[in-house]
A and B are shown apart, each in its own frame.
Chain A
């Protein structure tokens, strides 16, 4: 397969996954804001959203002050923000379009149909339930893409590059999501009344579609230690860093098999991080420092992404 083709598959998947993540972040921030009116202080929800999306600097370059309207505009429609939903959809489609002869019809159609209907984002914005509509639609389109990919693509290298794009983006996103709220997840943190913290934990779980999963697994009130366990280490939770690394390691191993057993830096780095997540405990993470652990995860994921590009795409 051409290196360029692999790169297009990989980035197509990353951009689709990013639209999903940004939609979830918006959903969670909007909920926190809504709760603020019922007595729970929202804090700077919109600001943490920008940090979690890695867009704080870009936002500050354009705006002097964070408001919900500006953040929503910046993260949904702004064509100059490469992580806005609209930009990510454009880039996903551009990557797919070049490969339309290689992608199968269903996977191409999932991306193209999203792009053709992208006005939904703009039109819904002004409606009474605008953000809700946008979030639901974006999530369902990302699901449609993953469904087409998973259900119809041959298990060849092209499939694996999409798998890697999805998993790398997801590992990065979940680590950032947790890191933004790491202070409310620290064990020594002294709760002030508890209501605010609960709302924060709740919002993290919602952003990861993990609220129900939490109740199924732990069967008790939300506690920070278990939020970390669920979203960093639990292999059953599809958006946990651990589950994303199961996919990264699995995808890289499948590629190595497909290419006659050749392995490289990407496999080595992924194997080492995967092992760390597999055998770590929440206690160890707290001893190491939660923030340091999450920063380390973002950095490792970044290095693996670079190694994948170096190994297969240059």
Chain B
């Protein structure tokens, strides 16, 4: 919230004065009210490896919003647009001419030997040449205009339902703030998503393609979000057994017989999508769906194989993708990254492991990583051993002086580290809803914001100004 000089940053002034005049008892009441709302709506998240497997938990919600002003958002938004355009161009290239490899920008084996690379996608022309239609880009900030991309999520990024529910909750709890301040709305996200999906349809589907959301089912950790998005868009939420492949098309079983499906917003991982093409033991997917996809008779969103663009081992190359494919200088920076598969870089990492964040290149959700500064010497040494044994599996980054946001915790209002996941929708145009999901590390000093690791969320405000008629 504060700038380097310690003064309150301009966008936060309104929030600051609100916090100054609101006693903790009121904040307690509002926090409890927010929890009640989330519980009644059933906005829950299942945590893996929990003692009570499949248990439903509430993600902690912080009632103090994270605020960005319009100029900050515009810079960020331009950077996101640029980055996702480059990622899509890279994906097209990887599955076609491979000019990025031929120009020597990356080694061939880094791509072809990567488990996220899908040979089935080679030479396949997808609608509009788009692979990651819905991309969640994790952003951290270290200074006034220093936004860094921590990672890209090109496969099935989740969290957007929290962005929407957090805003709904804030409007219910603090209507006075919304009447005084001009906060950019986020509630048009489902419409933007719907339009993006429409634009992704195969050309022959006509102007009103049939769109569905494909979920692994109600035991999936993000099931609430799948149901929420389907409901908000007014499309069917289907499971694998609801779909059937016949004569080169995908149909859903309805009370009026088979109905052809044109666009599938799938929230199932590549591996489980089609037991004929990928994992044979998958009961979640639809047999034969990849063959229909290859015929161009259905669009899968996001495209299978899009994961090659967000793989942690590919991440260091994204700035170069922006230069190579767009001929532009990247607006958003990457965090400096050492690739342990390179012996020189690996020894640097091992020597400085206590100051670094070391990540498994194929891990996600904050599992299998080391945060040096918050770990004991023993933990660092143990992790270093693993890195030494399997260097190709790890990358390392310096711990950044991450920005904090005022957060209401047991001790009162205190700074906590935050990141931001805006959602970038790519179709005929790029649509970016102002804001995103702010995740907050609730433990003091912690840098891990993942909800699976005890992080919380807060509403994200892009503040366009103060309303003229407000006092």
* Residues of chain A whose beta carbon lies under 8 Å from any beta carbon of chain B: 1-6, 97-98, 100-101, 157, 161, 255, 259, 262, 312-314
Contact = CB atoms under 8 A, between A and B. Distances in A.
Nearest to A160: B255
A50 B230 CA distance: 44
B255 A313 contact: yes
Given A100-B42, A101-B237, A1 B231 contact: no
A2 B218 contact: no
Chain B, interface size: which category?
Answer: 10 to 19
A5 B242 CA distance: 10
A4 B256 contact: no
Contacts of A259: 255-256
B149 to A, nearest CB: 34
Contacts of B239: 4
Contact of A101 (B230, B242, B254, B255): B230
Given A2-B242, A100-B227, A101-B227, A314 B253 contact: yes
Contact of A6 (B231, B241, B255): B255
Interface in B166-219: 218
Contacts of B255: 1-3, 5-6, 157, 161, 255, 259, 312-313
Nearest to A157: B255
B253 A3 contact: yes
A100 B237 CA distance: 12
Interface string B390-428: 000000000000000000000000000000000000000
B72 interface: no
B268 interface: no
A5 B238 CA distance: 10
A5 B254 CA distance: 9
B253 A2 contact: yes
Query: Most chain-A Cβ atoms within 10 A of its Cβ — which of B42, B238, B239, B256?
Result: B256
Contacts of A3: 242, 253-255
Contacts of B236: 2
Given A98-B218, A100-B42, A101-B237, A4 B253 contact: yes
A130 B197 CA distance: 56
Interface string B231-264: 1000011110110000000001111100000000
Contacts of A100: 42, 227
30 contacts: A1-B254, A1-B255, A1-B256, A2-B236, A2-B242, A2-B252, A3-B254, A4-B239, A4-B241, A4-B242, A4-B253, A5-B255, A6-B255, A97-B218, A98-B218, A100-B42, A100-B227, A101-B227, A101-B228, A101-B230, A101-B231, A101-B237, A157-B255, A161-B255, A259-B255, A259-B256, A262-B256, A312-B255, A313-B255, A314-B253
Interface in B247-304: 252-256
Q: Which 6 pairs show the lowest CB-CB distances between chains A and B?
A: A3-B253, A312-B255, A101-B231, A101-B227, A6-B255, A1-B255
Query: Most chain-B Cβ atoms within 10 A of its Cβ — which of A2, A6, A101?
Result: A2
Given A1-B255, A4-B242, A4-B253, 14 more contacts: A1-B254, A2-B242, A2-B252, A2-B253, A3-B254, A3-B255, A4-B241, A5-B255, A97-B218, A100-B227, A101-B228, A101-B230, A101-B231, A161-B255
A160 B252 CA distance: 21
